[in-house]
Amino acid sequence: MKRLATLLAMTASAALAADLKPTKDAGPYVPSPQSVVSDMLRYADVGANDFLIDLGSGDGRIVLTAAKVFGARGFGVDIKEDLVKRANEAAHNEGVAERVKFVKQDLFETDVSQATVVTMYLLPDTVNMLKDKFLRELKPGTRIVSHDYPLTGWIPDKYVQMDLEDKVQISGVTTTLIYLYIVPAKVAGRWEARMPPAISKQPASLTLKQQQVTRVSGSLRLDGRDVPLEEVKLRGDQITFRLAGHKGGFSGVVKDGAIEGTFDSGNNRTPWSASLRG
Ligand SMILES: C[S@@+](CC[C@H](N)C(=O)[O-])C[C@H]1O[C@@H](n2cnc3c(N)ncnc32)[C@H](O)[C@@H]1O
């Protein structure tokens, strides 16, 4: 009985500690200028099939614009109750309440797995603290758009810099940056590749390495030697590369430990595939 009481006391204090865990302030409320909101959504190519999540949604303008102008669905989270209330009222008044909602919630505790687009305008250290979460929860191909601060070490798919007078009162300078990232598939490992017969008649070992998440290198073992891959590009689940010393290019789609693709020799196109071995 005494042990149970101790256990209950420990559980209760753990729960209390979790409740009392201070929410990290990821940035003060400063709205993105409306022109930046439009650019962020345009660069991410937001459309009616998208589900957008704004982390730290403020007055809701990014999610509201995504719904009103681009036909998307989604939600925003913010720790400030008054902002969440204001954003939900705006969704109602602007006729998009069926497609978007706003929730008072810590962005670090928010499940983002439903997103096809994630947007944020947060402090630089916060943006970087989210990288592991993004890789864990987001599907390959999901677009991440960050206003002003980069995901350090990730190569942006698009990067735009502009000067905006509106920003002077926010950050003291006119400089405005928008970073677009595409969540890459996980490709690192050893693959058994079935190459076009012109390259190899036998299954060949393809090794892919993934540094800094988006930077991929690798080699294909042919006739006892490792032939390096060149110009390897990984965009979401789409991979392309060339084989050193060979004409033509490979493209493929990565899905569930397999790659299905096409080799374009310049004269004809033949299929190739690979499966992950470890
Ligand atoms: C710079 S504002 C961006 C507002 C909006 N996304 C925009 O671009 O107009 C950052 C917002 O993040 C919210 N925020 C800060 N820390 C947060 C946290 N841990 N969880 C959820 N929201 C947070 C703030 O209340 C603020 O509204």
Q: What is the DSSP string of 122-177?
A: --HHHHHHTHHHHHHHSPTT-EEEEES---TTSPPSEEEEEE-GGGHHHHSS-EEE
Bridge-based pairing state of the strands 100-104 and 117-120: unpaired
- Given a contact cutoff of 8 angstroms between Cβ atoms, the answer to whether 189 and 278 are in contact is yes
What is the 54 CA–ligand 1 centroid distance (Å)? Answer: 9
- Report how far ligand 1's centroid is from the alpha carbon of 207 (Å): 41
pLDDT tens digits in sequence order for the chain, 278 residues long: 344 344 434 444 544 454 556 788 999 999 999 999 999 999 999 999 999 999 999 999 999 999 999 999 999 999 999 999 999 999 999 999 999 999 999 999 999 999 999 999 999 999 999 999 999 999 999 999 999 999 999 999 999 999 999 888 888 889 999 999 999 999 999 999 999 998 999 999 999 999 877 789 999 999 899 999 999 999 999 999 999 999 999 999 999 999 999 999 999 999 999 999 97
Can you give the pLDDT at residue 14? 47
For ligand 1, pick from 59, 107, 129, 176 the residue to mutate: most ligand atoms within 8 Å of CB: 107
Residue with CA at minimum distance from ligand 1 atom 26? 29
Tell which residue, 87, 125, 130, 140, has the closest CA to residue 109. 130
Could you tell me the domains of the chain? 11-182 (3.40.50.150), 189-276 (2.40.128)
User: Full-prediction pTM beyond 0.85?
Assistant: yes
Atom of ligand 1 nearest to the CA of 61: 9
CB of 49 within 8 A of CB of 115? no
| pLDDT value of position 20 | 59
How far does the centroid of ligand 1 lie from the alpha carbon of residue 8, in Å?
Answer: 36
201-221: buried (b, 16+ CB within 10 Å) or exposed (e) per residue? eeebebbbebeebbebebbbe
How confident is the model at residue 9, as a pLDDT?
46
Report residue 172 as tokens.
Answer: 């003291």
pLDDT of residue 108: 97
Measured CA to CA, the distance from residue 176 to residue 198 in angstroms comes to 50
SS3 53: strand
What is the C-alpha end-to-end distance of the chain, expressed in Å? 49
CA of 77 to the centre of ligand 1 (A): 8
Q: 255: helix, coil or strand?
A: strand
Ligand 1: residues within 6 Å at CB?
23-27, 29-32, 54, 56-58, 61-62, 77-80, 83, 106-108, 121-122, 147
H or E element in which residue 225 lies: strand 225-235
Q: Give the pLDDT of residue 213.
A: 76
How far, in Å, from the CA of 29 to the mean position of ligand 1?
A: 6
